[in-house]
Amino acid sequence: MAAPAQKHDVFQAIADPTRRKLLQLLDQGEMPVTAISGHFPMSRTAVSKHLRILADAGLVKERKVGRETRYRMDPDPLLELKRWLSYYERYWENKMAALKRYVESQDSGK
Amino acid sequence: MAAPAQKHDVFQAIADPTRRKLLQLLDQGEMPVTAISGHFPMSRTAVSKHLRILADAGLVKERKVGRETRYRMDPDPLLELKRWLSYYERYWENKMAALKRYVESQDSGK
DNA sequence: TTGACATGAAACCTAAAGGTTTCGTATAAT
DNA sequence: ATTATACGAAACCTTTAGGTTTCATGTCAA
Protein backbone atom coordinates (compact mmCIF):
# COMPACT_ATOMS: atom_id res chain seq x y z
CA MET A 1 0.00 0.00 0.00
CA ALA A 2 1.19 3.47 -0.79
CA ALA A 3 1.92 5.86 2.04
CA PRO A 4 -1.09 7.89 3.13
CA ALA A 5 0.80 11.14 2.65
CA GLN A 6 -1.51 12.82 5.07
CA LYS A 7 -1.32 16.56 5.32
CA HIS A 8 -1.66 16.67 9.09
CA ASP A 9 -0.06 14.45 11.68
CA VAL A 10 -1.21 13.67 15.20
CA PHE A 11 1.19 16.14 16.79
CA GLN A 12 -0.20 19.01 14.79
CA ALA A 13 -3.75 17.84 15.20
CA ILE A 14 -3.72 17.86 18.98
CA ALA A 15 -1.76 21.09 19.22
CA ASP A 16 -4.93 23.13 19.03
CA PRO A 17 -7.10 23.28 22.18
CA THR A 18 -10.32 23.36 20.17
CA ARG A 19 -9.38 20.10 18.51
CA ARG A 20 -8.56 18.49 21.82
CA LYS A 21 -12.00 19.48 23.04
CA LEU A 22 -13.49 18.01 19.89
CA LEU A 23 -11.85 14.70 20.62
CA GLN A 24 -13.12 14.76 24.15
CA LEU A 25 -16.62 15.55 22.98
CA LEU A 26 -16.67 12.92 20.27
CA ASP A 27 -15.35 10.41 22.73
CA GLN A 28 -18.91 10.36 24.06
CA GLY A 29 -20.15 9.08 20.76
CA GLU A 30 -21.01 9.83 17.20
CA MET A 31 -22.42 13.28 16.49
CA PRO A 32 -23.47 15.39 13.49
CA VAL A 33 -21.70 18.67 12.74
CA THR A 34 -24.39 21.08 13.87
CA ALA A 35 -24.71 19.37 17.22
CA ILE A 36 -20.96 19.45 17.62
CA SER A 37 -20.58 23.08 16.72
CA GLY A 38 -23.14 24.00 19.35
CA HIS A 39 -20.44 23.33 21.91
CA PHE A 40 -18.02 25.87 20.48
CA PRO A 41 -17.95 29.66 20.32
CA MET A 42 -17.23 29.78 16.63
CA SER A 43 -19.01 29.21 13.34
CA ARG A 44 -20.08 25.78 12.18
CA THR A 45 -17.74 26.15 9.22
CA ALA A 46 -14.79 26.72 11.52
CA VAL A 47 -15.63 23.59 13.49
CA SER A 48 -15.98 21.74 10.23
CA LYS A 49 -12.44 22.72 9.29
CA HIS A 50 -11.09 21.47 12.59
CA LEU A 51 -12.90 18.21 12.02
CA ARG A 52 -11.27 17.93 8.64
CA ILE A 53 -7.84 18.34 10.19
CA LEU A 54 -8.62 15.69 12.77
CA ALA A 55 -9.91 13.39 10.05
CA ASP A 56 -6.75 14.02 8.10
CA ALA A 57 -4.73 12.82 11.05
CA GLY A 58 -7.03 9.84 11.39
CA LEU A 59 -8.34 10.91 14.78
CA VAL A 60 -11.96 11.08 13.68
CA LYS A 61 -14.02 9.14 11.18
CA GLU A 62 -17.02 10.45 9.30
CA ARG A 63 -20.17 8.75 8.14
CA LYS A 64 -22.90 10.23 6.00
CA VAL A 65 -26.42 9.62 7.21
CA GLY A 66 -29.06 11.32 5.14
CA ARG A 67 -28.26 14.98 4.97
CA GLU A 68 -25.97 14.94 7.94
CA THR A 69 -22.40 13.86 8.45
CA ARG A 70 -21.72 12.13 11.72
CA TYR A 71 -18.28 12.17 13.23
CA ARG A 72 -16.84 9.82 15.76
CA MET A 73 -13.49 9.68 17.46
CA ASP A 74 -10.77 7.20 16.58
CA PRO A 75 -8.01 6.94 19.17
CA ASP A 76 -5.68 4.76 17.12
CA PRO A 77 -3.33 7.50 15.90
CA LEU A 78 -2.74 8.45 19.52
CA LEU A 79 -0.65 5.32 19.73
CA GLU A 80 2.05 7.12 17.79
CA LEU A 81 2.04 9.82 20.42
CA LYS A 82 2.18 7.21 23.12
CA ARG A 83 5.12 5.57 21.44
CA TRP A 84 6.92 8.88 21.12
CA LEU A 85 6.27 9.64 24.74
CA SER A 86 7.44 6.25 25.89
CA TYR A 87 10.94 7.23 24.87
CA TYR A 88 11.02 9.63 27.80
CA GLU A 89 9.33 7.23 30.14
CA ARG A 90 12.55 6.34 31.90
CA TYR A 91 12.80 9.83 33.30
CA TRP A 92 9.69 9.45 35.37
CA GLU A 93 10.48 5.92 36.20
CA ASN A 94 13.67 7.12 37.79
CA LYS A 95 11.87 9.99 39.37
CA MET A 96 9.16 7.77 40.72
CA ALA A 97 11.72 5.37 42.03
CA ALA A 98 13.52 8.25 43.69
CA LEU A 99 10.29 9.53 45.17
CA LYS A 100 9.41 6.09 46.36
CA ARG A 101 12.76 5.73 48.06
CA TYR A 102 12.33 9.15 49.60
CA VAL A 103 8.86 8.43 50.92
CA GLU A 104 9.96 5.12 52.30
CA SER A 105 12.95 6.67 54.01
CA GLN A 106 10.68 9.26 55.62
CA ASP A 107 8.39 6.47 56.57
CA SER A 108 10.96 4.40 58.35
CA GLY A 109 12.40 7.53 59.96
CA LYS A 110 9.20 8.20 61.87
CA MET B 1 1.17 31.88 43.29
CA ALA B 2 0.36 33.70 40.12
CA ALA B 3 -0.13 31.62 37.02
CA PRO B 4 2.93 31.36 34.77
CA ALA B 5 0.91 32.58 31.80
CA GLN B 6 3.37 30.94 29.47
CA LYS B 7 2.97 31.79 25.86
CA HIS B 8 3.55 28.27 24.60
CA ASP B 9 2.27 25.03 26.02
CA VAL B 10 3.68 21.57 25.66
CA PHE B 11 1.20 20.58 22.94
CA GLN B 12 2.26 23.43 20.72
CA ALA B 13 5.91 22.94 21.55
CA ILE B 14 6.08 19.35 20.35
CA ALA B 15 3.92 19.97 17.30
CA ASP B 16 6.95 21.02 15.27
CA PRO B 17 9.26 18.23 14.06
CA THR B 18 12.34 20.39 14.46
CA ARG B 19 11.54 20.89 18.11
CA ARG B 20 11.00 17.20 18.65
CA LYS B 21 14.43 16.60 17.17
CA LEU B 22 15.84 19.24 19.46
CA LEU B 23 14.47 17.42 22.47
CA GLN B 24 15.92 14.19 21.25
CA LEU B 25 19.30 15.79 20.70
CA LEU B 26 19.37 17.55 24.04
CA ASP B 27 18.37 14.35 25.70
CA GLN B 28 21.99 13.33 25.19
CA GLY B 29 23.13 16.15 27.39
CA GLU B 30 23.74 19.83 27.74
CA MET B 31 24.88 21.68 24.64
CA PRO B 32 25.64 25.26 23.52
CA VAL B 33 23.62 26.84 20.72
CA THR B 34 26.21 26.71 17.96
CA ALA B 35 26.83 23.03 18.54
CA ILE B 36 23.10 22.41 18.50
CA SER B 37 22.44 24.35 15.34
CA GLY B 38 25.08 22.31 13.55
CA HIS B 39 22.56 19.49 13.49
CA PHE B 40 19.90 21.45 11.65
CA PRO B 41 19.55 22.73 8.10
CA MET B 42 18.65 26.23 9.16
CA SER B 43 20.28 29.30 10.63
CA ARG B 44 21.50 29.42 14.20
CA THR B 45 19.00 32.17 14.89
CA ALA B 46 16.13 29.98 13.77
CA VAL B 47 17.28 27.20 16.07
CA SER B 48 17.57 29.75 18.84
CA LYS B 49 13.94 30.68 18.37
CA HIS B 50 12.85 27.07 18.57
CA LEU B 51 14.83 26.75 21.76
CA ARG B 52 13.01 29.74 23.16
CA ILE B 53 9.66 28.16 22.44
CA LEU B 54 10.76 24.95 24.10
CA ALA B 55 12.03 26.91 27.08
CA ASP B 56 8.74 28.73 27.21
CA ALA B 57 6.97 25.42 27.53
CA GLY B 58 9.48 24.36 30.16
CA LEU B 59 10.90 21.57 28.03
CA VAL B 60 14.45 22.91 28.05
CA LYS B 61 16.49 24.82 30.60
CA GLU B 62 19.29 27.22 29.81
CA ARG B 63 22.46 28.00 31.67
CA LYS B 64 24.98 30.70 30.82
CA VAL B 65 28.59 29.60 30.87
CA GLY B 66 31.03 32.27 29.80
CA ARG B 67 30.01 33.53 26.41
CA GLU B 68 27.88 30.56 25.60
CA THR B 69 24.40 29.47 26.60
CA ARG B 70 24.00 25.80 27.24
CA TYR B 71 20.66 24.12 26.88
CA ARG B 72 19.49 20.89 28.38
CA MET B 73 16.27 18.99 28.16
CA ASP B 74 13.68 18.89 30.90
CA PRO B 75 11.06 16.17 30.46
CA ASP B 76 8.77 17.31 33.26
CA PRO B 77 6.18 19.12 31.14
CA LEU B 78 5.73 15.93 29.15
CA LEU B 79 3.88 14.63 32.16
CA GLU B 80 0.97 16.83 31.20
CA LEU B 81 0.94 15.15 27.82
CA LYS B 82 1.11 11.78 29.47
CA ARG B 83 -1.78 12.69 31.70
CA TRP B 84 -3.82 13.88 28.75
CA LEU B 85 -3.03 10.70 26.89
CA SER B 86 -3.91 8.51 29.84
CA TYR B 87 -7.52 9.55 29.38
CA TYR B 88 -7.61 7.50 26.21
CA GLU B 89 -5.60 4.68 27.66
CA ARG B 90 -8.65 2.52 28.19
CA TYR B 91 -9.09 2.21 24.46
CA TRP B 92 -6.03 0.11 23.89
CA GLU B 93 -5.78 -1.25 27.37
CA ASN B 94 -9.06 -3.03 26.97
CA LYS B 95 -8.72 -5.85 24.53
CA MET B 96 -12.45 -6.25 24.19
CA ALA B 97 -12.77 -2.65 23.16
CA ALA B 98 -10.04 -3.14 20.60
CA LEU B 99 -11.79 -6.14 19.21
CA LYS B 100 -15.05 -4.25 19.13
CA ARG B 101 -13.42 -1.42 17.20
CA TYR B 102 -11.95 -3.91 14.79
CA VAL B 103 -15.23 -5.63 14.18
CA GLU B 104 -17.02 -2.35 13.74
CA SER B 105 -14.42 -1.05 11.35
CA GLN B 106 -14.81 -4.14 9.24
CA ASP B 107 -18.55 -3.62 9.41
CA SER B 108 -18.69 0.00 8.29
CA GLY B 109 -15.52 -0.16 6.24
CA LYS B 110 -16.46 -1.70 2.91
C1' DT C 1 43.60 46.55 23.31
C1' DT C 2 42.28 44.53 19.40
C1' DG C 3 40.05 41.06 17.15
C1' DA C 4 37.35 36.80 16.93
C1' DC C 5 33.48 34.12 18.84
C1' DA C 6 28.70 33.16 20.91
C1' DT C 7 24.48 34.68 21.23
C1' DG C 8 19.91 37.23 21.44
C1' DA C 9 17.16 41.14 19.70
C1' DA C 10 15.08 43.45 15.86
C1' DA C 11 13.19 44.10 11.54
C1' DC C 12 11.55 41.90 7.90
C1' DC C 13 9.36 38.28 4.60
C1' DT C 14 6.24 34.44 3.15
C1' DA C 15 3.27 30.86 4.08
C1' DA C 16 0.08 28.67 6.98
C1' DA C 17 -3.39 28.75 10.74
C1' DG C 18 -7.68 29.98 12.28
C1' DG C 19 -11.46 32.47 11.66
C1' DT C 20 -15.50 34.78 8.90
C1' DT C 21 -19.18 35.27 5.31
C1' DT C 22 -21.28 33.82 1.14
C1' DC C 23 -22.80 30.40 -1.89
C1' DG C 24 -24.13 25.73 -4.00
C1' DT C 25 -26.10 21.42 -3.43
C1' DA C 26 -28.15 17.45 -1.52
C1' DT C 27 -31.69 15.73 1.51
C1' DA C 28 -35.90 16.16 4.33
C1' DA C 29 -40.34 18.09 5.58
C1' DT C 30 -44.84 20.56 4.35
C1' DA D 1 -43.37 21.81 -5.63
C1' DT D 2 -41.65 24.52 -2.41
C1' DT D 3 -39.30 25.58 1.57
C1' DA D 4 -36.16 24.51 5.32
C1' DT D 5 -32.08 22.04 7.00
C1' DA D 6 -27.20 20.19 6.97
C1' DC D 7 -23.18 20.62 5.20
C1' DG D 8 -18.79 21.59 2.50
C1' DA D 9 -16.30 24.59 -0.84
C1' DA D 10 -14.56 29.04 -1.89
C1' DA D 11 -13.00 33.46 -1.26
C1' DC D 12 -11.38 36.38 1.84
C1' DC D 13 -9.11 38.54 6.14
C1' DT D 14 -5.88 38.89 10.17
C1' DT D 15 -2.60 36.88 13.12
C1' DT D 16 0.94 33.69 14.02
C1' DA D 17 4.79 30.50 12.66
C1' DG D 18 8.92 29.76 10.85
C1' DG D 19 12.50 31.42 8.51
C1' DT D 20 16.13 35.03 6.97
C1' DT D 21 19.57 38.84 7.46
C1' DT D 22 21.56 42.45 10.08
C1' DC D 23 23.12 44.45 14.28
C1' DA D 24 24.58 45.10 19.31
C1' DT D 25 26.69 43.18 23.22
C1' DG D 26 29.31 40.37 26.19
C1' DT D 27 33.25 37.28 26.64
C1' DC D 28 37.51 35.01 25.39
C1' DA D 29 42.17 34.91 23.02
C1' DA D 30 46.47 37.13 21.16
Between A and B, how many residue pairs show a Cβ–Cβ distance under 8 A?
43
* Least confidently predicted of A22-31, A88-97, B101-110: B101-110
Kindly state whether residues A65 and A93 are assigned to the same domain.
no
Averaged pLDDT of chain B: 88
Of chain B, the percentage scoring pLDDT greater than 90 comes to 74
Residue B7 belongs to what domain range?
1-75
Q: Work out the minimum CA distance from A84 to partner chain B, whole angstroms.
A: 10
Kindly state whether residues A52 and A90 are assigned to the same domain.
no
Residue A108 has pLDDT above 80, yes or no: no
Kindly state whether residues A65 and A84 are assigned to the same domain.
no
- Residues with Cβ within 8 Å of A91's Cβ and at least 6 positions away in sequence, in order, are B75, B78
| pLDDT for the residue B41 | 97
The answer to whether B28 faces chain A, any CB pair under 8 Å, is no
pLDDT digits (tens, 9 = 90+) for B46-81: 999 999 999 999 999 999 999 999 999 999 999 999
Kindly state whether residues B65 and B83 are assigned to the same domain.
no
Query: Element (H or E) spanning A73, and its range?
Result: strand A68-73
| pLDDT for the residue B5 | 59
DSSP class of residue A106 equals H
How many structural domains are present in chain B? 2
